[in-house]
Amino acid sequence: MSIELKVPAVGESITEVEIGDWFFKEGDFVEKDKPVVVIETEKATVELPAPVSGILGKILKVHAAANVGEVIGHIIPGAETGKTEGKPVVASAPVTPAPSRTESPKVMPSAARVLAEADQPGLEVSGTGPGGRVLKEDARKALAATSAPAEEEPSAKPQAAPKPIQPQAPSNPPRKGTENREIEVVRMSKLRRTVAERLVRAQSEAALLTTFNEIDMTSIMSLRKEQGEAFLKRYGVKLGFMSFFVKAVVDGLKMVPQLNAEISGTDMVYHRYYDIGVAIGGGKGLVVPVLRNAERLSFSEIELAIAAFASKAKEGKLTLEELEGGTFTISNGGVYGSLLSTPIVNPPQSGVLGMHSIQDRPVAVQGAVVIRPMMYVALSYDHRLVDGKEAVTFLKRIKDVIENPARMLIEA
């Protein structure tokens, strides 16, 4: 008797997920607790483990939406018949004519489109991509091979007195150099679709405004240079800029609590704790894991937590609990070279701080022009909750604390 593979509950508010790649194909032996399939939610990617050891039976969902609790496949408990050393469903194998739905992951969307446009969707094609995936180039080569004989003998069949054809210019001739241009259509992931929806909602529902300032990073850079090596030896992690900014943000939020609040109907909800989201570039897009109770964390605890988040983000292993419930967000576009930007607030939060590249620039200090490492910072905020004076006060506080880091200790 087969055992059903069902979509697990992955969060209180999540009812629908996206089924991604299967790590095995039908007939493969699967060991208990081994990941079987990737499940994408609007916030993170999780892997569904096998409940028992056995043979993977019918796969019902591939690259499609599914509801929590819905059956997406079956496992038949039994011996290691057909064991394949845990190779993914996209393992190397030629695409056979009229492939079933469960074999669709072998053919990349662009390759399937090329075959469909040539009216040969069932053409046998050998994949050269990772895990034997059939790429667009593979489909083209296969089509070229099947059409080569016909092209080599254009005059094989005699034709009877054809009527002269007058050359006629195409109604919309392609521009020179654009004849072979192509496009590739790729389905948006659940995470990317959710990000897009929330960004649009934030723009339409909130009264967003951005204010800017610049920070002299000389003191922080000197402190990191002096203490960086000892910090690394003691805690096993580098002393970065983010821990300083997290501390400064908590200090600023205590001064301007409206930026640590949210709107709920006709009420304003003030948070008396500080859960700071830190935007991190992951393998499948930008994610924002949350530093819980950041006001209680030391510099080393902040840096260790951020390093752990970054590692999990690259592997797609961040949990929903690590991504939910932030009260304020910090985004560091400077790591990608951004000089200045206007970050978008992540609802229902009321503010986000954008950090940018550090550049040496001439500035006036005590009547003299000197070269200093400067960073532009931007605060985007919901004007429904936060007035301009409060936003400027907060950003000015960030500037003061970063330029005089001793204040974080003296005024704690």
Tally of residues, the chain: 412
What's the rounded Cα separation, in Å, for the pair 403 and 323? 30
Nearest Cα to Cα of residue 38 among 230, 316, 335: 316
Q: In what order do the strands lie in the sheet with 368-382?
A: 208-216, 368-382, 351-365, 328-332, 276-278, 290-291
DSSP state of 342: -
Nearest Cα to Cα of residue 59 among 8, 103, 17: 103
Nearest Cα to Cα of residue 219 among 410, 377, 405: 405
CA 86 to chain centre: 26
**388 exposed, middle or buried (CB, 10 Å; 0-12, 13-18, 19+)?**
exposed
Sequence-distant (≥ 6) Cβ neighbours of residue 340 within 8 angstroms: 212, 356, 376, 378
What's the rounded Cα separation, in Å, for the pair 97 and 402? 64
Nearest Cα to Cα of residue 56 among 85, 77, 70, 35: 77
Count of Cβ atoms closer than 10 Å to residue 167 Cβ: 4
387 an active-site residue? yes
- What is the DSSP pairing of strand 351-365 with strand 328-332? parallel
**68 exposed, middle or buried (CB, 10 Å; 0-12, 13-18, 19+)?**
middle
Question: E strand or H helix at 353, and its extent?
Answer: strand 351-365
Q: Does residue 132 sit in helix, strand or coil?
A: helix
Nearest Cα to Cα of residue 307 among 235, 217, 237, 203: 237
Catalytic residue among 63, 271, 387, 400: 387
356 an active-site residue? no
Residues with a known catalytic role: 383, 387
